[in-house]
A and B are shown apart, each in its own frame.
Chain A
């Protein structure tokens, strides 16, 4: 067990425990806050996978953008301590059961599939410049489409949220 493996387990815990809390905590505000940890954990996983730029972007977008937005929405939309804000437990049983079954199958498939792994043990290279190259050459069209999507989302959100 190398140091990397240890870090993997640590990051996995950082990801999963808040995610668990996020899903099962009755208070939506706590759920939102716990997402914070989960997103950080995923960023750590990215680092472990040698995706430095992705990890940074994860922190920036998810933690800095999306999470803040969600929290805003939570607070804007509701008296956060209100009684109705609590979710009842009963509703979680069936989804949980089904989720467990699904998880079982997924893990079974993951473990039984003969993965064709071609991992080399080179030290991970910085990816930023290569990603930039790829985005502006091979993936130019999706890149542009993504920008249009963002623009559309921007305009759409403004139009939707603008009070009449």
Chain B
């Protein structure tokens, strides 16, 4: 019954998605690319929540959390993109390697 889909499959799927997202975050030079990685990670979290909602909790709280994840993702991406645009205006680059003003 290896292929009969249950919770584990969903979790593995989300784990793969998560790791892909992490790799994206770590490897992209472009800050928009990093943002994409983050979106993948968030999606994986959403899958986890909804899957647990169905298989473990058997109520809708997981879905509610998925909704909140959307909210957070939306706000995050909006702010992040605004910041990136701002940086681009100032430095004409979005390359994460060039943005190191935090270093003293």
A-contact bits for B82-103, CB 8 A (1 contact / 0 none) = 1111101100001100000000
Q: Known contacts being A8-B9, A95-B23, is A157 close to B82, with CB within 8 Å?
A: yes
Q: Which of A78, A96, A107, A142 contacts B23 (CB 8 A)?
A: A96
CA distance A163 to B88 in the complex (A): 12
A-contact bits for B15-29, CB 8 A (1 contact / 0 none) = 111111111101111
For B4, what are the chain A residues with a Cβ–Cβ distance below 8 Å? 1-2, 5
Contact between A110 and B8 (Cβ–Cβ < 8 Å)?
A: yes
CA distance A45 to B77 in the complex (A): 23
Interface residues in B, total, Cβ within 8 A: 70
Interface residues in A, total, Cβ within 8 A: 84
Q: DSSP class of B's interface residues: helix, strand, loop or mixed?
A: helix
For B76, what are the chain A residues with a Cβ–Cβ distance below 8 Å? 153
B-contact bits for A47-58, CB 8 A (1 contact / 0 none) = 011110110011
CA distance A94 to B22 in the complex (A): 12
For A107, what are the chain B residues with a Cβ–Cβ distance below 8 Å? 12, 15
* Contacts of B52-90 to chain A: CB distance below 8 A: 53-56, 58, 60-61, 63-64, 66-68, 70-79, 81-86, 88-89
Q: 26 A–B contact pairs at CB < 8 A?
A: A4-B5, A8-B5, A22-B36, A23-B40, A42-B17, A42-B47, A48-B5, A49-B10, A54-B46, A54-B67, A57-B70, A66-B39, A69-B77, A70-B36, A94-B26, A99-B19, A110-B8, A115-B7, A115-B55, A118-B58, A119-B54, A130-B60, A131-B63, A153-B74, A160-B83, A160-B86
**Which A positions have Cβ atoms within 8 angstroms of B?**
1-2, 4-5, 8-9, 12, 15-16, 19-20, 22-23, 28, 31-32, 35, 38-39, 42, 45-46, 48-51, 53-54, 57-58, 61-62, 65-66, 69-70, 72-74, 76-78, 84-85, 87-88, 91-92, 94-96, 98-100, 102-103, 106-107, 110-111, 115-120, 127, 130-131, 134-135, 139, 142, 146, 149-150, 152-154, 156-157, 160-161, 163
